[in-house]
Amino acid sequence: MKNKIIITGLLWCMSLYMHAATQQQIIDSEHLTKPSIYQSPVFYALIFVAVLLLIFIVQLGKVFSAIAAKYGKEQSKKTWDGFKTVILLLCLGSIHTQANAQLTMPEPHTQAMFLHEGFGHPAINGLVVIILLELSVVFYYMLLIRSFTRSHSLKPAREIRRSRFWDLMNQSVAIESEAAIMTDHEYDGIRELDNALPPWWKYGFMVSILWGAMYLIYFHVAKEGELQAAEYATEMENARISLEAYRAKAADSVDEFTIALSTDPSFIQKGAIHYDKLCKVCHGAAGEGIVGPNLTDAYWLHGGAIKDVFKTVKYGVQGKGMKSWQQELSAAEIGQVSNYVLSLQGTSPANGKAPEGDLYSTNVSEPSDTTAVRDTTNTQKP
């Protein structure tokens, strides 16, 4: 069959590229320790698309020959032959270009950069060319089929085109001639035709099985793919790197060592906004304390200096119900909240909760009053 030639051609192209890519890898391994092209998901995705298109082309080829046979067009054969030659030439041409491109190796460091992304590698370029070729074949076939069905249909164009398209795609026997494939089954008046399996369905099924096998091999036999623990480690590492990069140039870098008391009312007022959103459910609207301690008295569980308060807000107190807010608030915002909290000192709101922790005084250094230090989260097992 004519389309066998083109398929062989395409397969051949692909195997050549695979070969080229392997060669490439050998060269790479001598020069670089960067990940090979086989670790690039793009590579596999492209192969997958290429195979899929190939199957589609085979189907279209069958449809095309069916039409050609039906309308007995000699002309089609001629068009086809010419086209076939063009395709083969294109394939060969592109292989040679690519093969040459490979021999002239790029500089090692640019190579490494490309490899990192997966794009730009000769094998990838080759696959892209193949896919483009395949797409043009598909397009050409479609044009041919369209022109045939148009010129030969007697019935209104719209209806014919729709049903014929699906009949061709599914390789259904036309309704008028379905008696030929009627089985002798009959159940309560229900008859059964025996149409062929729709080719796209059949090959799609096969491809999905193939994909399944490839997936298992990739992750569990070759162990190339990252399973979830490794994937997590990579994600965290990437986050760490980008965070470090950000911190290196970030100006807003106040922390528990550098924070200072502010007297700027607008700065403190900004803290009130965050306080209302995040803090008041536990510490009360006026800082009087609900399930969290009273913030208006001079007694502190974890220190009453601005640096202490900043630290408590930033890191929380593990296991005590005070969560760390550094996920929700930026460093500057923690500074605002801490200052706002300290601005509440001595306001003595109504319903103030009893003092907890130690008396903190800016000018007294010894730990004085030892009012009930309690643990409000104790669930200790007996």
Window 169-208: residues binding other proteins (CB under 8 A)? 170, 172, 175, 178, 182-183, 185, 187-198, 201-202, 204-205, 208
What residues numbered 7-26 form the site for other proteins, per CB under 8 A?
A: none
CA distance 192 to 81: 41
- To the nearest whole angstrom, how small is the minimum distance from the Cβ of residue 182 to other proteins? 7
Of positions 48, 114, 211, 267, contacts other proteins by CB under 8 A: 211
Task: Kindly state the smallest distance separating residue 270's Cβ from other proteins, in Å.
Answer: 17
Residue in 310, 345, 346 with CA at minimum distance from that of residue 331: 310
Binding to other proteins by residue 156, rule CB under 8 A? no
Q: Which is nearer to other proteins, 94 or 297 (CB)?
A: 297
CB of 144 to other proteins, least distance (A): 25
Q: How far is the CB of 265 from other proteins (least distance, A)?
A: 26
| 182: three-class secondary structure by DSSP | strand
Which residues, 6 or more positions from 56, have their beta carbon under 8 angstroms from its beta carbon?
138, 200
87-98 burial, b at 16+ Cβ within 10 Å, e below that, comes to bbebbeebbeeb
* Of residues 132 and 157, the one with the C-beta less far from other proteins: 157
Closest-CA residue to 148 (of 32, 39, 68): 68
Token reading at 366: 């010894």
Specify the residue, 139 or 205, whose C-beta has the smaller distance to other proteins: 205
- Nearest-angstrom CA–CA distance, 366 and 259: 23
Question: Judged by CB under 8 A, how many residues of this single chain contact other proteins?
Answer: 79
- Least separation in angstroms between CB 110 and other proteins: 26
Q: With contacts defined by CB under 8 A, name the span among 95-103, 147-155, 304-312, 322-330 that binds other proteins.
A: 322-330
Binding positions for other proteins, 240-279, rule CB under 8 A: 240, 243, 246-247, 250, 252
Distance, first Cα to last Cα, the chain: 83
Considering only 35, 106, 120, 321, the residue that binds other proteins (CB under 8 A) is 321
Dist. CA 284–CA 290, nearest whole Å: 6
User: Please, which of residues 289-308 interact with other proteins by CB under 8 A?
Assistant: 289-292
Q: Which residues contact 262 (CB under 8 A, 6 or more apart)?
A: 268, 335, 339
Q: Which of 215, 255, 285, 361 binds other proteins (CB under 8 A)?
A: 215
List the alpha helices (DSSP H) in 296-330.
306-315
Q: Is 220 in the site for other proteins (CB under 8 A)?
A: yes
| Dmax (CA) of the chain | 108
Select the residue interacting with other proteins from 81, 117, 231, 255 (CB under 8 A): 231
Closest to other proteins by CB, 253 or 361? 253
Nearer to other proteins, 117 or 235 (CB): 235
Q: Which of 169, 167, 164, 196 is nearest to 180 (CA)?
A: 196
Nearer to other proteins, 169 or 305 (CB): 169
Q: Return the residue of 8, 29, 330, 368 that touches other proteins, per CB under 8 A.
A: 330
Span 331-370, contacts to other proteins by CB under 8 A: 331, 351, 353
| CA-CA-CA-CA torsion sign (162, 164, 166, 168) | negative
Minimum CB–partner distance for residue 283 and other proteins (Å): 11
Instruction: Compute the distance between CA of residue 314 and CA of residue 275 in angstroms, rounded to an integer.
Output: 13
Choice from 85, 105, 146, 237 touching other proteins (CB under 8 A): 237
- Give the Cα-Cα-Cα angle 295, 299, 305 (nearest 5 degrees): 80
Give the gyration radius of the chain's Cα atoms. 37
Closest Cα partner for 260 from 306, 308, 309? 306
Nearest-approach distance from CB 323 to other proteins, in angstroms: 5
